[in-house]
């Protein structure tokens, strides 16, 4: 009979969908004995080996002893002191990822992992890609739920097995009136206008009259929810409880899928991430990113505010590595405007280029990123949005060497950190389409619910496509899985910041107002601070 150590080893590797033969199990036991690993530290030590094994390109489901030896040797080498490390070069590890350049990874039910799409992606999409986008969202949430401690049975004998929650499918309800079920599916309205929950096998109508109140979060049409209730003889699920799916933190997801290059900029292991994090704290503690939203270039005081911000940077020798400016870059829509409006739009960008260029040090050292807003001219209202049309930005391109015009949303990869930048009036759109929410919520509650809902849904827009049009072939660019390091939800709603499940989320607020506000993000601390410029404005 296997002893406690063997059971722990088997349990850890089984979590990563790997099985161990007797040779591999013996080798791991020898490692533990060789390094005098205490019983309390066995799980942590084996977890480190299992993570690295899982990242090997040739790792099979049945653990290979040769690959296991290779992983162990590599970990040994990483632990040995070598030559003095060179100082980190932040620019060589800084990438700006456009939504239309991200590789498409879809969930494979057969393999139980992600597969890279081989089909060419098109803006038009297809009927199949629309279905696949929704199914990918469902399967990604479901596979993380089934790993959750409340849903996943332990490999060790335990009395807790009887308390595990079991997910059912809509097809399992048929002929079982009077029984209680827990379903995971998308909330939607059927052709008769009745609220229902849909999964990959079908749908069932919901009756919410017996539910006191839903769990925390914003429940919108198009979001995925855990719904518990009794199935009645009329084919309706009488709901007694409804909750958001549990969120899986970044480290857990990366420990399983760390070998997958979701951004197309090279993948790193968790060990490399932790080493980079330590060195960033030691060597780049004074490196910052600035984030501004609603930079209305047609507002008379905007350039004055930007000039004041640049002056403060120079006076304090505080030059940001990145300045991200999110739209809207106009205070009013000019989509249907005349030629004069469009000419002013371009002239405003030209004036901004001249202002930035008047600060040589900032122009030389800082990366400028421009993310379009809902009112900016990009060619499409569907998400993700294309960058601002190059017709309007030629002067900026010629004046600023490190300028990047990105899609909305876009991503910033800095060493092992992933920062998602999204400019949309998300709070208002979510509240307009809410199906259920706890009563008597405060403003603070709403901010927390918004962040919780978006991260729990692993998606920036958990809404149906008739509410928020999305290009189906590029839906993966709106995905928040694995969970990013930080998410900037640039919104006309009031500014806020909070951390949920290890992900730091903030809204820098509008730049134009009684005081010009923005946010600074410190990669060393993985946190943000509010910045405000007090300027006397003209009437």
Span 395-420, pLDDT tens digits: 999 999 999 999 999 999 999 999 99
What is the bridge-based pairing of β-strands 219-220 and 236-243?
unpaired
Total-model pTM: 0.85
pLDDT of residue 155: 43
pLDDT at 303 over 70: yes
Q: Mean pLDDT across the chain, nearest whole number?
A: 91
State percent of the chain over pLDDT 90. 71
- Let me know if 377 is exposed, middle or buried by CB neighbors in 10 A (0-12, 13-18, 19+): buried
pLDDT at 536 over 70: no
Could you write out the DSSP letters of every residue in 355-411? HHHT-HHHHHH-EEEEE--TTS--S-SSBSBPPPPGGGTHHHHHH-TTEEE--BSEE
* Selected residue with higher pLDDT from 439 and 330: 330
pLDDT at 337 over 80: no
- Full 3-state SS string of 441-478: CCHHHHHHHHHHHHHHCCECCCCCCCCCCECHHHHHHH
| 56-92 pLDDT, tens digit each | 767 778 899 988 998 898 888 766 544 456 789 999 9
pLDDT of residue 80: 55
CA dihedral 416→417→422→425, nearest 10 degrees, is: 150
Q: Quick one: which H or E segment has residue 185?
A: strand 180-189
Omega into 328 within 30° of 0, i.e. cis? yes
Instruction: List the single range of 107-116, 159-168, 204-213 with lowest mean pLDDT.
Output: 159-168
Q: Which residue is it, tokens 């979590």?
A: 15
| Cβ–Cβ < 8 Å for 367, 356 | no
- What is the arithmetic mean of pLDDT over 147-157? 62
CA distances from 266 to 25, 83, 86, 205, 510 (A): 32, 24, 20, 45, 34
pLDDT of residue 258: 86
pLDDT at 154 over 50: no
Could you write out the DSSP letters of every residue in 99-166? GGGSPPEEEETTTTEEEE--SPP-SS--HHHHHHHHHHHHHHHHHHHTTSTTTSPPSS--GGGGG---
């Amino acid at each position: 009979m296997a002893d406690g150590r063997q059971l722990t080893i088997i349990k850890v590797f089984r979590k990563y969908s790997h099985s161990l033969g007797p040779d591999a199990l013996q080798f791991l036991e020898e490692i533990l004995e060789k390094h005098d690993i205490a019983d309390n530290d066995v799980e942590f030590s084996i977890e480190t080996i299992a993570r690295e094994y899982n990242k090997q390109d040739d790792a099979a489901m049945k653990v290979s002893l040769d690959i296991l030896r290779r992983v162990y040797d590599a970990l040994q080498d990483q632990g040995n002191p070598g030559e003095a490390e060179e100082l980190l070069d932040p620019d060589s590890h800084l990438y700006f990822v456009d939504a239309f350049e991200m590789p498409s990874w879809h969930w494979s039910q057969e393999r139980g992992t992600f597969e890279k799409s081989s089909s060419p992606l098109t803006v038009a999409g297809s009927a199949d890609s629309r279905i696949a986008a929704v199914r990918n969202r469902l399967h990604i949430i479901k596979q993380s739920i089934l790993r959750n401690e409340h849903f996943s049975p332990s490999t060790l004998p335990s009395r807790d097995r009887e308390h595990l929650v079991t997910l059912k499918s809509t097809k399992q309800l048929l002929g079982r009136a009077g029984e209680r079920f827990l379903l995971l599916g998308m909330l939607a309205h059927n052709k008769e206008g009745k609220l229902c929950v849909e999964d990959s096998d079908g749908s069932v109508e919901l009756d919410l009259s017996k539910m006191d109140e839903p769990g925390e979060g914003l429940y919108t049409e198009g979001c995925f929810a855990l719904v518990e209730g009794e199935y009645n003889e009329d084919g309706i699920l009488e709901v007694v409880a409804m909750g958001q799916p549990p969120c899986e933190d970044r480290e857990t997801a990366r420990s399983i899928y760390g070998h997958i290059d979701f951004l197309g900029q090279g993948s790193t292991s968790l060990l490399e991430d932790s080493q980079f994090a330590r060195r960033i704290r030691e060597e780049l503690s004074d490196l910052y990113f600035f984030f501004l939203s609603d930079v209305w270039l047609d507002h008379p005081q905007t350039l004055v505010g930007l000039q004041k911000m640049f002056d403060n940077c120079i006076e304090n020798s505080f030059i940001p590595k990145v300045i991200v400016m999110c739209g809207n870059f106009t205070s009013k829509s000019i989509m249907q405007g005349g030629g004069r409006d469009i000419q002013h739009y371009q002239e405003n960008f030209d004036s901004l280029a001249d202002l930035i260029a008047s600060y040589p040090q900032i122009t030389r050292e800082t990366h400028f990123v421009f993310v379009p807003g809902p009112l900016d001219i990009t060619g499409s209202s569907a998400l993700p949005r294309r960058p601002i049309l190059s017709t309007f930005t030629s002067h900026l391109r010629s004046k600023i060497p490190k300028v990047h015009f990105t899609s909305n949303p876009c991503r910033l990869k800095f060493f092992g950190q992933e920062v998602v930048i999204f400019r949309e009036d998300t709070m208002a759109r979510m509240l307009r389409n809410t199906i259920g929410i706890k009563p008597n919520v405060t403003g603070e509650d709403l901010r927390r619910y918004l962040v919780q809902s978006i991260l729990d849904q692993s998606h920036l827009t958990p809404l149906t496509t008739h509410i928020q049009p999305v290009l189906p072939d590029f839906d993966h660019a709106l995905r928040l899985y694995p969970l990013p390091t930080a998410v900037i939800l640039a919104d006309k709603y009031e500014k806020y910041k909070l951390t949920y499940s290890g992900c730091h989320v903030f809204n820098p607020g509008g730049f134009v107002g009684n005081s010009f506000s923005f946010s600074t993000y410190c990669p060393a601390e993985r946190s943000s601070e509010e910045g405000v410029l007090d300027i006397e404005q003209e009437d």
